[in-house]
Chain A
C-alpha cells in the first residue's frame, strides 16, 4: 500500500509571545491508501486543529503535510479552493447541508462545484444514493428527514466525487446511538467496498472501534497508537477503553 497522507512534524501555536498555547506540538504520522484512521483525544487535545490543518481550513505554524507527495502547506491561497474540491471530502458534526436544496441536490452540489458534466452528475448522484440507502428521500429537504439520514446524505456528498481522502469531524456527534451505528457501518462500507480513505476525528470509543488504526492525542502530541488488525470489533473497543484509561484524568470526558 502506498502512503497517501504524510504529516511531518507539524506544530500549531496560538496566542502571543508571552502566552503561547501549543495546540499541536510536533505531530508526525502517515496514512496509507484505503485506511480508516481515527484520531481520538479529549477536548482541547488538538484533534480538531489537526483535522483543520489537513483540511486546509487552518494553517500550520511549522512542519509539512503531504498528500500524494504534494505539500499542502505550500498551496497558494487562490489555489486552495481548487485543491479542496478535487482532493478532499468532508463530513461535519452538524451535517452542513443546505436547507434550500433537496437531499439529491445537496449531493449534486459538490459535483456542480467540480464542474462535472450534467449527465454524469445525475448518474453519480443516484448511484451513490442507492449505495448509502437514501434513494427514497432524494426529493425531500433536509428539515424533512432524520439526523441519521442527513449524515448519510453528507457522507454521500463527501464520497460522490471520489476524493483522495475523506475528513470526518465527529460525524456521530449529533446522532442517537442507533443512527450512529448505522452511519458507522456505512462508513466502514465506504472504506472497504468503495476503497475510500477516511480520517475521522472523534472522542467516542464506539465510533473509533470501526477504524483500522487509531491515534490518541494529548496536549497536542501523539500519546499512543493502536491498530485493529484482525481483531474483532468488540475486542478492539475494549482496547480503546484501556488506552483512554491510560490517558488519565481525561477519561471523564469519555462516555
Chain B
C-alpha cells in the first residue's frame, strides 16, 4: 500500500521535477563516461601523461559530488516544503512520522535509481563520443562500438549513491523533527518579506560597487607586480573584496530596482512594469543568497574556464612559435651526419637545410623589448644574425615569399608578439651599426622561423650575404659571452621538415645521436678546490612531435576536466533556478489568473511570463559578465606575451557561447513548463 502511494506520488511530481531529473541523469552520464575514460586502456596508452588522467578524474569527482549533493539537497528541501501540507495531512490521519519518512525515501529512491539507470545508458554513448574526440586529437583511428566497463559503473554507483543516500538521510531527519503544525502551515511561513529599509539597501548597493571596482583595481595592480616579478600581497584581499561585493550587490540591487522603477510613478505605471518588478523584487529579496551563490559559481566557471583556455592557447602558441619545423638541431661543429642518417632511416624527409647563425655585438635592438616579458635579452650583450640567403631559404620552407636587400640594408625578423615593440624602436632610430657599417633598417618581418632561442632570441637581424664575411672578420665580437658561441662567432643549425609528424620514440632515438663530452670543472668552495666532471652537451635537439604529444596530453586533461566541471556547475545552478520558478508556478498561476480576470490579454500575459523568467535567469548573470570579463582580461595579462588580445577575446567568446547554450536550453525548458503550468485549467 505504502509502496503504491509512493510510486503514484513520484509520478505525479515528475512534471515539476523533470528538469531536475534530467540534470541528475546527465550528471550521472558525465560521471560515468569520465570514469570510463579514467579506466580505459585505449586512452592511457596514448601518452605517458594521460596515465595520470584517472588520478585527476577521481580528484575532480569529489568536487562534482559536492555540487551534486548541493543540488539534490536543495531540490529535496524544496519537495519537502511543497508537500508539507500533504505530509501534515498524513500525520493527522494517524500515519507515523517514520512511515512518512519512508514514503519520501522510497519515492526519491525510485527517482534516483531511475536517473542512475538512464544516466548510465546515456553515459555509454557519451563515453564513445569523448573517446573518439580524444583519439582524434592524437590522430589515432578509433572504431566506435559499445564497450562497457563494470569498474566505471561501480565507481559511479558508489559516488552517486553515497551522495544520494546521505542527502536523503538528512531529509529523513528533518521530517522526523518537524511538528504537524509546521507542516500544515509551512506555506504561510515563507511569505513575502518585502523590502523595508530602502535607504539602507541603497548604501549597501553603493558599497558593493565600491568593493567590486576596488577589488578589480587592486587585482589589476597586483598583476602588474606579478609581471614585474614582485611580491603580490594583496591578491587574496582583492578576491575577498570581490566576493563580498557580489553578495552585497544582490542585496542592494533590489533597492536599485525599487528606486528606479517603483518610487517613480510615471515609470512604475508604464506598461506592465509594476507587476513584473514587484514579482521580481519580492523574489530577489528572499533569495539573495541563492542568487549570489549562483552568481559566484558562474563567475568561477567563467574565470576558471577562461584561464584554462588561456593556458591551453599559451602552450599551443609556444609550440607553434618554437617549432616552425619538425626537427631543430644545433651544434658547434658542422658534422650532422649521425643525425641525418637517423632521420632518413626513421622518417620521411621533405626538406632539410643547414646554415649558420652569427653573433655580433649588441646593436641596441634589445632595448625595444625593455617593457615586455622578454626584457632579459637586453642583458645578453649580443644579437643574432642570419644571412639573406639562409633567411630566404627558411622563408621558403615556411611558405613565404623571398625578400631582397640592398647592400646597406637590413631586415629584422621578430616574433609576432613583439613586432610592435621593435617597429616602434625602428621608427625612432632606423639604422644599425654592424661591423663598422651603418645599415638602414628596411623593415620588420614577423615570419615564424622559430625564434624562441633557436634562430635568434625573439628576433634576428637579416643582413646581405656580403656583410657576413665582414662580420666573421670582426674581432670585437663577444664570443664567449655564451657557452653556445664556443669562440667561433657562429653556430651550426640544421632544420628538417618531415612528411608526417614524429613521435616521442623518434625523439628519444635522435637524442642518443648527440655527442656528449665530459669536462673537468674546478671550483673553489670554502677555500678548498674541488674538481668534478660534468657531462656537457654541445648540441641541442628538439622535435616538434614529442613536444606536441606532451602538450596535447596536458591540453586534453585540462580542457576535458574544465569542461566536465563547468558543465555540471552550469547544469546544477540552472536546475536550481528552474526548480524555484516551476515550484512557485502555483503561486504565480493565482497572480496571472487575477490579471486575466481583470482583462489582461493572453499575449501580454505570455510576454510577461517570458520577461519574468528571463529576468530571473539573467540577474545572476550580471555579475559574472561585469566582473568575469575584466578579471579574465587582468589575468590574461600575465600570459599576454605568448598570446594576443584577440585570442583572449575569442576565448571569452567561446566560454560565453557554450555557457549561454547550456543555460539557454534550461531557460527555454523552464519557460515552456512554466507557461504550461499557468495555462493549465484548474
- Digitize B262-290: 1 where CB-to-A-CB distance is under 8 Å, 0 elsewhere: 00011111111111001100100000000
Q: Is B194 positioned at the interface, with any CB of A under 8 Å from its CB?
A: yes
Q: Which of B426-434, B595-603, B662-670 contacts A (4 or more CB under 8 A)?
A: B595-603
Q: Is B192 positioned at the interface, with any CB of A under 8 Å from its CB?
A: yes
How long is the Cα–Cα vector from A99 to B282 in the complex, in angstroms? 10
Judging by beta carbons under 8 Å apart, are B599 and A81 in contact? Answer: yes
Judging by beta carbons under 8 Å apart, are B597 and A57 in contact? Answer: yes
- Digitize B588-630: 1 where CB-to-A-CB distance is under 8 Å, 0 elsewhere: 0001001111111110000000000000000000000000000
How long is the Cα–Cα vector from A105 to B282 in the complex, in angstroms? 14
A100-B282, A101-B274, A141-B194 are contacts. A108–B600 as well, Cβ < 8 Å?
A: no
List of B residues within 8 angstroms of A111 by Cβ:
269
A99-B192, A100-B192, A141-B192 are contacts. A109–B598 as well, Cβ < 8 Å?
A: yes
Q: Is B191 positioned at the interface, with any CB of A under 8 Å from its CB?
A: yes
How long is the Cα–Cα vector from A177 to B278 in the complex, in angstroms? 33
The one of B191, B274, B595 that contacts A108, using a Cβ cutoff of 8 Å:
B274
How long is the Cα–Cα vector from A97 to B272 in the complex, in angstroms? 16
How long is the Cα–Cα vector from A57 to B681 in the complex, in angstroms? 13
Q: Kindly report which residue of chain A lies nearest to residue B265, judged by CB atoms.
A: A122
Judging by beta carbons under 8 Å apart, are A85 and B598 in contact? Answer: yes
Q: Is A136 positioned at the interface, with any CB of B under 8 Å from its CB?
A: no
The one of A55, A97, A119 that contacts B266, using a Cβ cutoff of 8 Å:
A119
How long is the Cα–Cα vector from A98 to B587 in the complex, in angstroms? 10
- Digitize B332-376: 1 where CB-to-A-CB distance is under 8 Å, 0 elsewhere: 000000000000000000000000000000000000000000000
Judging by beta carbons under 8 Å apart, are B274 and A96 in contact? Answer: no
Q: Is A230 positioned at the interface, with any CB of B under 8 Å from its CB?
A: no
List of B residues within 8 angstroms of A20 by Cβ:
none
Give the Cβ gap from A238 to chain B, nearest Cβ, in Å.
36
Judging by beta carbons under 8 Å apart, are B596 and A98 in contact? Answer: no
Main secondary structure on A side of the interface with B: helix
How long is the Cα–Cα vector from A90 to B591 in the complex, in angstroms? 15
A85-B599, A98-B591, A100-B192 are contacts. A109–B274 as well, Cβ < 8 Å?
A: yes
List of B residues within 8 angstroms of A88 by Cβ:
599
Judging by beta carbons under 8 Å apart, are B275 and A109 in contact? Answer: yes
Judging by beta carbons under 8 Å apart, are A90 and B598 in contact? Answer: yes
Judging by beta carbons under 8 Å apart, are A110 and B598 in contact? Answer: yes
List of A residues within 8 angstroms of B602 by Cβ:
78, 81
The one of B268, B269, B600 that contacts A81, using a Cβ cutoff of 8 Å:
B600
The one of A84, A97, A118 that contacts B599, using a Cβ cutoff of 8 Å:
A84
A100-B278, A100-B279, A141-B192 are contacts. A122–B269 as well, Cβ < 8 Å?
A: yes
The tally of residues in B whose CB lies under 8 Å from a CB in A reads 27
Give the Cβ gap from B426 to chain A, nearest Cβ, in Å.
64
8 A Cβ contacts from A143-189 to B = 143, 157
8 A Cβ contacts from B142-192 to A = 191-192
Q: Kindly report which residue of chain B lies nearest to residue A108, judged by CB atoms.
A: B269
Q: Is A224 positioned at the interface, with any CB of B under 8 Å from its CB?
A: no
How long is the Cα–Cα vector from A112 to B608 in the complex, in angstroms? 14
List of B residues within 8 angstroms of A141 by Cβ:
192, 194
Give the Cβ gap from A198 to chain B, nearest Cβ, in Å.
17
Q: Kindly report which residue of chain B lies nearest to residue A99, judged by CB atoms.
A: B192
Q: Is A1 positioned at the interface, with any CB of B under 8 Å from its CB?
A: no
How long is the Cα–Cα vector from A123 to B393 in the complex, in angstroms? 86
Give the Cβ gap from A88 to chain B, nearest Cβ, in Å.
7
How long is the Cα–Cα vector from A113 to B595 in the complex, in angstroms? 9
List of B residues within 8 angstroms of A55 by Cβ:
597
List of A residues within 8 angstroms of B194 by Cβ:
100, 141
List of A residues within 8 angstroms of B267 by Cβ:
118
The one of B192, B270, B274, B591 that contacts A105, using a Cβ cutoff of 8 Å:
B274
Give the Cβ gap from A138 to chain B, nearest Cβ, in Å.
12
The one of B192, B272, B594, B596 that contacts A112, using a Cβ cutoff of 8 Å:
B272
List of B residues within 8 angstroms of A130 by Cβ:
none
The one of A98, A118, A119, A143 that contacts B278, using a Cβ cutoff of 8 Å:
A98
Q: Is A121 positioned at the interface, with any CB of B under 8 Å from its CB?
A: yes
Q: Kindly report which residue of chain B lies nearest to residue A116, judged by CB atoms.
A: B269
Give the Cβ gap from B576 to chain A, nearest Cβ, in Å.
22
The one of A84, A105, A122 that contacts B598, using a Cβ cutoff of 8 Å:
A84
Give the Cβ gap from A137 to chain B, nearest Cβ, in Å.
15
* Most central of B269, B278, B602 by chain A CB within 10 Å: B269
List of A residues within 8 angstroms of B282 by Cβ:
99-100
Judging by beta carbons under 8 Å apart, are A105 and B599 in contact? Answer: no
List of A residues within 8 angstroms of B595 by Cβ:
109, 113
Judging by beta carbons under 8 Å apart, are B599 and A96 in contact? Answer: no
List of B residues within 8 angstroms of A118 by Cβ:
265-270
The one of A78, A85, A98, A112 that contacts B269, using a Cβ cutoff of 8 Å:
A112
Q: Kindly report which residue of chain B lies nearest to residue A105, judged by CB atoms.
A: B274
How long is the Cα–Cα vector from A32 to B274 in the complex, in angstroms? 36
Q: Is A86 positioned at the interface, with any CB of B under 8 Å from its CB?
A: yes
- Digitize A197-210: 1 where CB-to-B-CB distance is under 8 Å, 0 elsewhere: 00000000000000
List of A residues within 8 angstroms of B594 by Cβ:
96-98
List of A residues within 8 angstroms of B596 by Cβ:
81
Give the Cβ gap from B519 to chain A, nearest Cβ, in Å.
84
How long is the Cα–Cα vector from A143 to B554 in the complex, in angstroms? 60
Q: Kindly report which residue of chain A lies nearest to residue B192, judged by CB atoms.
A: A99
Q: Is A82 positioned at the interface, with any CB of B under 8 Å from its CB?
A: yes
8 A Cβ contacts from B550-606 to A = 591, 594-602
A98-B591, A100-B192, A108-B274 are contacts. A121–B269 as well, Cβ < 8 Å?
A: yes
Judging by beta carbons under 8 Å apart, are B269 and A143 in contact? Answer: no
List of B residues within 8 angstroms of A108 by Cβ:
268-269, 274
Q: Kindly report which residue of chain A lies nearest to residue B188, judged by CB atoms.
A: A143
Give the Cβ gap from A59 to chain B, nearest Cβ, in Å.
14
List of B residues within 8 angstroms of A90 by Cβ:
597-598
List of B residues within 8 angstroms of A78 by Cβ:
601-602
Give the Cβ gap from B137 to chain A, nearest Cβ, in Å.
53
List of A residues within 8 angstroms of B192 by Cβ:
99-100, 141, 143
The one of A81, A92, A98, A121 that contacts B601, using a Cβ cutoff of 8 Å:
A81
Judging by beta carbons under 8 Å apart, are B278 and A82 in contact? Answer: no
How long is the Cα–Cα vector from A111 to B192 in the complex, in angstroms? 25
How long is the Cα–Cα vector from A121 to B268 in the complex, in angstroms? 10
List of A residues within 8 angstroms of B597 by Cβ:
55, 57, 84, 90, 92, 96
List of A residues within 8 angstroms of B600 by Cβ:
81, 85, 113
* Most central of B270, B278, B596 by chain A CB within 10 Å: B278
List of B residues within 8 angstroms of A112 by Cβ:
269-275
Give the Cβ gap from A250 to chain B, nearest Cβ, in Å.
27
Give the Cβ gap from B454 to chain A, nearest Cβ, in Å.
69
Q: Kindly report which residue of chain B lies nearest to residue A55, judged by CB atoms.
A: B597
Judging by beta carbons under 8 Å apart, are B266 and A101 in contact? Answer: no
A81-B601, A113-B600 are contacts. A121–B275 as well, Cβ < 8 Å?
A: no
The one of A99, A113, A115 that contacts B191, using a Cβ cutoff of 8 Å:
A99
How long is the Cα–Cα vector from A55 to B595 in the complex, in angstroms? 14
Give the Cβ gap from B310 to chain A, nearest Cβ, in Å.
44
List of B residues within 8 angstroms of A157 by Cβ:
598
Q: Kindly report which residue of chain B lies nearest to residue A95, judged by CB atoms.
A: B594
How long is the Cα–Cα vector from A240 to B271 in the complex, in angstroms? 46
List of A residues within 8 angstroms of B599 by Cβ:
81-86, 88, 110, 113-114
Judging by beta carbons under 8 Å apart, are A105 and B278 in contact? Answer: yes
List of A residues within 8 angstroms of B191 by Cβ:
99, 143
* Most central of B275, B279, B597 by chain A CB within 10 Å: B597
Q: Kindly report which residue of chain B lies nearest to residue A86, judged by CB atoms.
A: B599
Q: Kindly report which residue of chain B lies nearest to residue A122, judged by CB atoms.
A: B265
How long is the Cα–Cα vector from A121 to B597 in the complex, in angstroms? 20
A100-B278, A100-B279, A109-B275 are contacts. A121–B265 as well, Cβ < 8 Å?
A: yes
5 A–B contacts, CB within 8 A, in A order: A81-B601, A88-B599, A100-B279, A111-B269, A113-B600
Q: A81-B599, A85-B600 are in contact. List 7 more A-B contacts (CB 8 A).
A: A78-B601, A82-B601, A99-B191, A101-B274, A108-B269, A108-B274, A112-B273
A positions within 8 Å CB-CB of B: 55, 57, 78, 81-86, 88, 90, 92, 96-101, 105, 108-116, 118-119, 121-122, 141, 143, 157
* Closest A-B pairs by Cβ, 7 of them: A85-B599, A84-B599, A118-B266, A100-B278, A118-B269, A121-B269, A81-B601
